[in-house]
Structure 1
Amino acid sequence: MSRFDRYVLSQYLLFFSFFALILVAVFWVNRAVVLFDRLIGDGQTAIVFLEFTALTLPNLIRMVLPVAVFAAAVWVTNRLQSESELTVLQATGTSPWQMARPALGFGLITALMMSVLTHFLLPSSIGQLALREQEISRNVTAKLLTEGHFLHPAKGVTFYIRQIDSNGTLNDVFLSDRRDPNQSMTYTGARAFLVRDEGKTHLIMVNGMAQRLDNRTKQMSTTNFSDFSYDISSLVNKSTITQRNIREISSWELLRNREDINLSDGYSLGALAEEFHLRFARALICIAVALIGFSALMIGSHSRFGVWRQALLAFLLLIIVEGLRGVVSEPVRTNPDLWPLIYLPALIGLVIAVGFLQLAAHPLATRRRARRTVAPLQTGRQETGS
């Protein structure tokens, strides 16, 4: 690469990092608020919240990476045009194909990033995230033993502990169970203890009262007890059959063991074929959007109003290419033999970029001027000959 190509490529990477950071931060804040409420509300620590946040970042980066590539390509190309750098190159005889080399290199680098992300980082992070979620869901102590807070370990269940002594005694316990639509149960106890027995966890409440409200007749009955055992293992959602997330499965396993995955995890062969080829198609999309962002801004002539029309055209093409990805997925899920359709959006994007570069290299205005110049000459020759 020439010195100018390296300079342009560095600008692409610089602004790509900037746009990726901004987009990831915006999406991360929206998701972190929900994640924070769910984890901290269930009694988890800030360390667990940070761990879950880190594990969700690869999937978040995968979503915003093509948009960041497109934004960087359009921004840098517009900047080079506004500062007349591309104009100088065109005046020295540099063709649009030669000026597209940094954009192509930028697309290849981001495609490599996307490949590493989809083939290695994303499956590992999703697998680790699923493992940590199972560990936390089985940890009854972490979900319930938080003093001074009203917790909701399951839908329709509210649990409260005023104080926890150093020896593990729970003081002033409140438990409301509203999962049965016909009746609501409320338990209060002066003291309580957690007891494990054969894989189950029981809450033993001492010196308390049980209140039963019949939701149909609106009648309430109360019972005082000296000790009462309540099985809280049901408050933790357990699943005897755990199905792996399809994005958790490694690419090598998708390539070699699709039949086994179909039997063990229940995913159809079409869904497995779509996921496998989509990981490669996402890398090609990065190359396509980088070239579209560059080539679309090269087809317009100089205007004092800027290149907003070309930028709008490039943005609409990006929406079309991204929309086609959803259109071609359904046929592949139905028939795995149609897997080449997964690459169709990326190929269409590349064809559009090549067409724009060809149009920039041979603009229609130049052709029309040439025709207008040739026509009078031909007419003059005919008159001279006659």
Structure 2
Amino acid sequence: MSRYDRYVLSQYLLFFSFFALILVAVFWVNRAVVLFDTLIGNGQSALVFLEFTALTLPNLIRMVLPIAAFGAAVWVTNRLNGESELTVLRATGTSPWQMARPALAFGVITALMMSALTHYLLPASISQLEVRESEVSRNITAKLLSEGDFLHPADGLTFYISQIDTDGTLNDVFLSDRRDPTVTVTYTGARAYLVRDGANAHLIMLDGMAQRLEHGTQRLSTTFFSDFSYDISSLAREAENPSRNIRAIPSLELMNQTAAITENDGHSVGAQAEELHLRFARALVCVAVTLIGFSTLMLGTFSRFGVWRQVFLAFVMLIFIEGMRGVVSEPVLRDPSLWPLIYLPTILGLAVALIFLVLSARPKRIRARSPEAAG
């Protein structure tokens, strides 16, 4: 690699880092606002919020990485063209194929980043995120300790606390259990406490009343109690065999254990084929969008008005490729044997970049005819 290639490659990586940082920050702020409201509003700590946001970062990076690579390729190529560096290279006999070497190397580097992200970091982060979400959902104290609001921790269950004292005493508690379609039981208590006994959790209500309504006979029974224990362990929603998110399954497992995944997690063969080949296609598309960003701007020559037409064409090609990626997934979900369709947007992108490089290597030469030659 020549000194010029290293210089251009360093510019690609510099602006790629800049664009990736900006895009990740924008997406992260948008996602963090919703996540902060959900977690902090449910009684979780700031450390839990930071952990959840860190686990969502690999997915955000996966989304913005091709866009950042494309933006860096367009920006650097446009700057080189605006400062006449590409014009000088053309004048010295350097072909567009030689000038495309830094862009190709940059595309390969971003593809390797995407491969590490989609095959290792993203499945690991999603798997850990599912574990933490399950732990948070089992945190009954955080779910129920919210004063002044009618909460619905489970279908058919309503819980209300008027006030929570500093020592943890719950005042004026209301609990309506309608999970049995034939019977509705309503509990009220002047005070209550949440008590944990190992893996079990109990709501201890004091000085209250229980009303039992049988819907078939419309019979209402009322019982007054000085203390009563209500088991709320079932609200933890512990699943014995929870199905995994398909994006949390490692790539090697998708390759070698298709039948086991279908049986244990319920994901069809088509969904597994689509997910596995998408992970490879996402890496290859980074090479395609990088070469498109470079080759499209190579179509134009130096102009005082800039290369806005080439930039617009490059963005149109990027939108076309991203749109194609959404179209080709549906047939693969129905028929796994059609998995080569997943790579069609990448192949089309590379073909377009190749055509643009061929056109830039053979520009049309408009020969002005002199008056004598015209005569």
TM-score, reference length from structure 1:
0.85
Q: Note if 1:163 corresponds to 2:155.
A: no
1:51-81: CA deviation from partner (whole Å, max 9, x where unpaired): 0110011011101111111111111111111
Structure 2 counterpart of 1:271, one-letter code: A
Query: Does the CA contact (< 8 Å) of 2:84 and 2:302 recur in 1?
Result: no
Query: Does the CA contact (< 8 Å) of 1:145 and 1:161 recur in 2?
Result: no
1:261-318: CA deviation from partner (whole Å, max 9, x where unpaired): 1222121111111111111111100000000011111102333221111111111111
* Distance in 2 of aligned mates of 1:83 and 1:154: 64
Q: 1:97: which partner in 2?
A: 97
Q: Note if 1:2 corresponds to 2:2.
A: yes
Q: 1:222 to 1:301 in 2, by over 3 A?
A: farther
Deviates more, 1:11-20 or 1:201-210: 201-210
Q: 1:133: which partner in 2?
A: 133
Deviates more, 1:191-200 or 1:290-299: 191-200
SS in 2 for 1:175: strand
SS in 2 for 1:201: strand
What is the root-mean-square deviation in Å for CA atoms of aligned residues?
A: 3.2
The number of residues matched between the two structures is: 367
Q: 2:67: which partner in 1?
A: 67
Structure 2 counterpart of 1:192, one-letter code: A
Query: Does the CA contact (< 8 Å) of 1:151 and 1:160 recur in 2?
Result: no
CA shift, 1:210, in A, is: 6.0
* Distance in 1 of aligned mates of 2:13 and 2:34: 32
Q: 1:101 to 1:209 in 2, by over 3 A?
A: same
CA shift, 1:16, in A, is: 0.8
* Distance in 1 of aligned mates of 2:327 and 2:237: 36
Query: Does the CA contact (< 8 Å) of 1:176 and 1:184 recur in 2?
Result: no
CA shift, 1:165, in A, is: 5.8
Deviates more, 1:324-333 or 1:204-213: 204-213
CA shift, 1:246, in A, is: 0.6
* Distance in 2 of aligned mates of 1:213 and 1:9: 75
Q: 1:241: which partner in 2?
A: 241
Deviates more, 1:169-178 or 1:201-210: 169-178
Structure 1 counterpart of 2:164, one-letter code: Q
* Distance in 2 of aligned mates of 1:61 and 1:311: 24
Q: 1:232 to 1:72 in 2, by over 3 A?
A: same
Query: Does the CA contact (< 8 Å) of 1:42 and 1:151 recur in 2?
Result: no
Query: Does the CA contact (< 8 Å) of 1:12 and 1:72 recur in 2?
Result: yes
Query: Does the CA contact (< 8 Å) of 1:207 and 1:226 recur in 2?
Result: yes
Structure 2 counterpart of 1:163, one-letter code: I
Structure 1: gaps (5+ residues): 215-219, 381-386
SS in 2 for 1:29: helix
Q: 1:175 to 1:87 in 2, by over 3 A?
A: farther
* Distance in 1 of aligned mates of 2:186 and 2:239: 27
Q: 1:150 to 1:11 in 2, by over 3 A?
A: farther
Query: Does the CA contact (< 8 Å) of 2:173 and 2:190 recur in 1?
Result: no
* Distance in 2 of aligned mates of 1:14 and 1:213: 70
- Equivalences for residues 1-386 of structure 1 within 5 A: 1-145=1-145, 153-154=153-154, 157-160=158-161, 162-164=163-165, 166=167, 170-175=169-174, 177=176, 187-196=187-196, 200-208=200-208, 225-363=225-363, 365-366=364-365, 368-369=366-367
Q: 1:263 to 1:46 in 2, by over 3 A?
A: same
* Distance in 2 of aligned mates of 1:150 and 1:47: 27
1:183-208: CA deviation from partner (whole Å, max 9, x where unpaired): 99875433212345795433121123
* Distance in 2 of aligned mates of 1:37 and 1:117: 28
Deviates more, 1:239-248 or 1:272-281: 239-248
Q: 1:231 to 1:100 in 2, by over 3 A?
A: same
Q: 1:90 to 1:198 in 2, by over 3 A?
A: closer
Q: 1:383: which partner in 2?
A: none
* Distance in 2 of aligned mates of 1:291 and 1:266: 39
* Distance in 2 of aligned mates of 1:41 and 1:182: 34
Deviates more, 1:351-360 or 1:297-306: 297-306
1:3-46: CA deviation from partner (whole Å, max 9, x where unpaired): 11111111111111111111111111111111111111221100
CA shift, 1:172, in A, is: 1.0
SS in 1 for 2:31: helix
Q: 1:95 to 1:185 in 2, by over 3 A?
A: farther
CA shift, 1:225, in A, is: 4.2
1:350-378: CA deviation from partner (whole Å, max 9, x where unpaired): 01001101111101x22x53xx87xx99x
* Distance in 2 of aligned mates of 1:208 and 1:133: 34
CA shift, 1:230, in A, is: 3.2
Deviates more, 1:259-268 or 1:155-164: 155-164
Q: 2:217: which partner in 1?
A: none
Percent of aligned positions with the same letter in both sequences?
Answer: 67
CA shift, 1:108, in A, is: 0.6
* Distance in 1 of aligned mates of 2:178 and 2:88: 73
1:126-149: CA deviation from partner (whole Å, max 9, x where unpaired): 110111111122222333346788
Q: 1:175 to 1:44 in 2, by over 3 A?
A: farther
